[in-house]
């Protein structure tokens, strides 16, 4: 009885902690954005109200928000999988771009007669290549203690270089001119859910990925081991968990999820690969994972929040002249303050058994 | 003739990377991996163009750019050292934030998307007499020499001395490499780290100023083109040693300078651009492999 109440108390304080953790960086970002808006003589409340209306006001706007959130579901999960095990993988961006190129490649090179089987083939190929891509830094970290932050960061630039070369050279579309591959076959395009909005079936795939991640993290032994390794390496080792194989596993899963995300974006959104394929989805995914504290519901909410910002930013610029860059300012502030430890938060944490 | 041009271009292209790398390596000696060098370079470039156009003084321009970079670095450091933010996430966030703020200012106050072109931007002066251009091989490079390049290379050779022989240098290295010792010595670690991050900001700001004022005299959102990350690659490859890092920067500058020529020889520039990053990966693997060997031998 007493135990149950204590449990509830712990659960409540954890919930409180999580919601403060989610709200604080965003509150700072809103303050920063408000100050900037005041400087240029705009009423921040009007602007934020417009942004809310533009991101959730009508069915079309909601569809646009979810469409913008789609890649972030993948990159958020891909980041969270590694962060919760203490592997500081910042290479999701590169793996996402590589996955996008591979997905598009399958979509336009295989003969159109493959029909709808093109879609699973593209997803599988993208996931496999991206998994191999992040296997490399994972292996190096696990066996040679190569700093994963630097290796994955460097691999991002290698990914940009390789894909940039391919879309300007061997895979350049002959008809469309610059920096794009040919369009994928019609059968390889993911169906749109609510035309004319660009919301596509990739969003559903993203939801499945988020749910699968939640299930894996909470209900499977390997998910539990992953969390344990992140929590305390020495203890994990003592109870017989192989740290190298756990690290490699989470990096490979992160690669698979990134690759699926890239393929979904290529087949659903752009229907091809283009230079500048990702405007930083991998990095925004980090903000999403941090804001959501690696929790599946947190990731879903975080992705929708950043999706809303992105979709509202574009129309706010149209209607009120406020530069789209306000979105970057908010996102950057959230990232800077995402993992700030507040005195209050650490107090709550200390009380935990 | 071609050799002369390549030498001159390499030296010019090395300077911004070199300045940022010197700042970054001091920062890392103090125990902070600064992933936001690029943001500070971008801010430095922006400030330099505005101040240069407003005052007509190149010196004021680079000074304000450096101070601006240092101020950003200091504030950034406070978030890390005092509020416990993660330096990697916060660093990536700062890159996004600064790009956003600069884009916003450009858009709102200058009504331009991406590029800031101002009249009367004063470039960095070439101070050697004109006859130096006639010296074979290095003549062109000498005639194009400007103060920031000289400053960068003076720093390269001054820093090892300062790190090894001054109180500040010793405290910095203790903070980053032996925190227990620093604590025992009574060093205010957090303040040392804040100072080293401000130092990194100062140098990155100068690097950005060089990008803007060495020859083009304008600001562009893509001006740094990831050079802050190249600088990071350089000091990782040079293992935080100033002279070794400078040589790596020179190599990256040479790669940059020859990229266009290699393109005509059939080598795609985008792939050549990945060489610095691949080099760091190889260097990290090699270092890791040696560490493992040493461990095996010890056990």
pLDDT tens figures, A304-341: 999 998 888 888 877 777 888 888 898 899 888 877 76
Which residues of chain B lie closer than 8 angstroms to A161, CB-CB? 270-271, 273-274, 277
Mean pLDDT of A76-86: 94
Q: Do A140 and B108 touch (CB under 8 A)?
A: no
Q: How far is Cα B168 from Cα B159, in angstroms, rounded to an integer?
A: 11
- Residue B150, number of CB atoms within 10 A of its CB: 13
- Among all residues of chain A, which has the CA nearest to that of B81? A340
A207 Cα to chain B: minimum distance (Å): 25
Q: How far is Cα A13 from Cα B23, in angstroms, rounded to an integer?
A: 43
Query: How far is Cα of residue A154 from the mean position of the Cα atoms in its chain?
Result: 19
Q: Measuring CA to CA, which residue among A40, A156, A90, A23 is closest to residue B101?
A: A40
Q: State yes or no: pLDDT of A3 exceeds 70.
A: no
A3 Cα to chain B: minimum distance (Å): 33
Compute the residue count for chain B.
299
Token representation of residue A240: 């017989």
Token representation of residue A136: 């490399």
Q: What percent of chain B has pLDDT over 70?
A: 99
Q: Do A145 and B291 touch (CB under 8 A)?
A: yes
In DSSP notation, B16-55 reads: HHHHHHHHHHHHHHTT-----HHHHHHHHHHHHHHHHHHH
Q: Do A328 and B88 touch (CB under 8 A)?
A: no
- Residue A312, number of CB atoms within 10 A of its CB: 27
This complex has an ipTM of 0.86
Q: How do residues A177-230 score in pLDDT, each as one tens digit?
A: 778 888 988 888 998 988 888 899 999 999 999 999 999 999 999 989 889 888
Give me the pLDDT at residue A15, please. 63
Q: How do residues B218-264 score in pLDDT, each as one tens digit?
A: 999 889 888 999 999 899 888 889 999 999 999 999 988 887 677 77
Beta strands in B203-245 (DSSP E): 219-220
Q: Report the interhelical angle of A281-291 vs A296-320 (nearest 10°).
A: 120
Query: How far is Cα of residue A11 from the mean position of the Cα atoms in its chain?
Result: 27
A58-72 burial string, b = 16+ CB within 10 Å, else e? eeebbbbbbbbbbbb
- Among all residues of chain A, which has the CA nearest to that of B95? A332
First-to-final CA distance of chain B: 57
- Interface contact B174, partner A, CB < 8 A: no
The pLDDT confidence band at residue A352, using thresholds 50, 70 and 90, is very low
The SS3 call for residue A352 is coil
B87 vs A265, which has greater pLDDT?
Answer: A265
Strand B219-220, strand B115-116: pairing: antiparallel
Peptide bond into A196 cis (omega under 30): yes
> How far is the CA of A64 from the CAs of A190, A195, A317, B202, in angstroms?
16, 10, 16, 42
């Amino acid at each position: 009885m007493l135990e149950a109440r204590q449990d509830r108390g712990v659960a409540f304080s954890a919930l409180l902690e999580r919601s403060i953790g989610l709200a604080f960086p965003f509150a700072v970002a809103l303050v920063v954005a408000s100050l900037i808006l005041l400087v240029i003589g705009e009423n921040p409340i009007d602007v934020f109200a417009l942004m809310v209306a533009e991101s959730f006001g009508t069915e079309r706007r909601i569809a646009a928000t979810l469409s913008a959130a789609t890649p972030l579901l993948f990159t958020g999960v891909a980041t969270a999988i590694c962060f919760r095990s203490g592997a500081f993988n910042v290479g999701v961006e590169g793996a996402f771009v590589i996955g996008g190129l591979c997905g598009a490649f399958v979509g336009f090179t295989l003969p159109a007669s493959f029909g709808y089987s093109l879609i699973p083939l593209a997803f599988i190929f993208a996931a496999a290549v991206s998994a191999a891509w992040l296997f490399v830094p994972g292996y190096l970290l696990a066996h040679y203690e190569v700093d994963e932050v630097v290796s994955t960061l460097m691999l991002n630039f290698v990914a940009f270089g390789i894909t940039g070369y391919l879309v300007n050279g061997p895979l350049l579309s002959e008809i469309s001119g610059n920096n794009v591959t040919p369009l994928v076959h019609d059968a390889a395009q993911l169906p749109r859910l609510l035309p004319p909005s660009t919301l596509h079936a990739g969003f559903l795939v993203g939801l499945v990925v988020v749910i699968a991640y939640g299930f894996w993290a909470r209900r499977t032994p390997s998910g539990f081991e992953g969390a344990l390794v992140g929590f305390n390496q020495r203890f994990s080792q003592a109870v017989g968990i192989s740290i190298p194989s756990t690290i490699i596993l989470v990096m490979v899963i992160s690669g698979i999820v990134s690759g699926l995300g890239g393929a979904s974006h290529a087949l659903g959104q752009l229907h091809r690969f283009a230079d500048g394929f990702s405007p930083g989805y991998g990095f925004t995914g980090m903000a999403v994972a941090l804001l959501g504290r690696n929790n599946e519901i947190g990731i879903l909410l975080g992705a929708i929040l950043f999706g809303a910002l992105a979709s509202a930013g574009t129309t706010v610029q149209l209607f009120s002249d406020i530069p789209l860059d306000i979105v970057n300012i908010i996102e950057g502030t959230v990232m800077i303050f995402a993992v700030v430890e507040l005195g209050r938060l650490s107090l709550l944490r200390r009380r935990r058994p | 003739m071609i050799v002369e041009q390549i030498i001159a271009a390499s030296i010019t292209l090395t300077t911004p990377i070199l300045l940022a790398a010197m700042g970054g390596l001091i920062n890392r000696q103090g125990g902070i991996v600064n992933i936001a060098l690029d943001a500070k370079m971008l801010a430095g470039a922006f400030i330099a163009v505005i101040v240069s156009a407003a005052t007509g003084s190149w010196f004021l321009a680079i000074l304000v750019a450096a101070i601006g970079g240092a101020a950003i670095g200091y504030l950034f450091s406070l978030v890390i050292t005092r509020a416990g933010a993660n330096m990697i996430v916060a660093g990536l966030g700062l890159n996004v934030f600064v790009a956003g703020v600069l884009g916003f200012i450009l858009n709102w106050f200058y009504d331009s998307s991406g590029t800031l072109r101002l009249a009367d931007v004063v470039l960095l002066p070439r101070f050697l007499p004109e006859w130096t251009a006639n010296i074979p091989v290095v003549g062109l490079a000498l005639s194009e020499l400007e103060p920031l390049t000289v400053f960068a290379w003076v720093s390269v050779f001054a820093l090892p001395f300062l790190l090894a022989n001054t109180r500040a240098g010793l405290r910095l290295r203790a903070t980053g490499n032996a925190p227990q010792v620093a604590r025992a010595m009574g060093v205010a670690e957090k303040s040392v780290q804040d100072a080293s991050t401000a130092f990194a900001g100062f140098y990155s700001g100068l690097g950005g100023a060089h990008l803007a004022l060495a020859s083009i005299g304008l600001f562009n959102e893509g001006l740094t083109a990831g050079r802050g990350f190249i600088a990071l690659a350089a000091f990782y490859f040079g293992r935080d040693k100033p002279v070794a890092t400078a040589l790596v920067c020179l190599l990256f500058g040479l790669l940059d300078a020859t990229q266009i020529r290699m393109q005509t020889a059939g080598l795609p520039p985008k792939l050549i651009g990945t060489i610095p990053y691949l080099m760091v990966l190889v260097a990290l693997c090699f270092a890791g492999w040696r560490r493992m060997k040493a461990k095996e031998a010890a056990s």
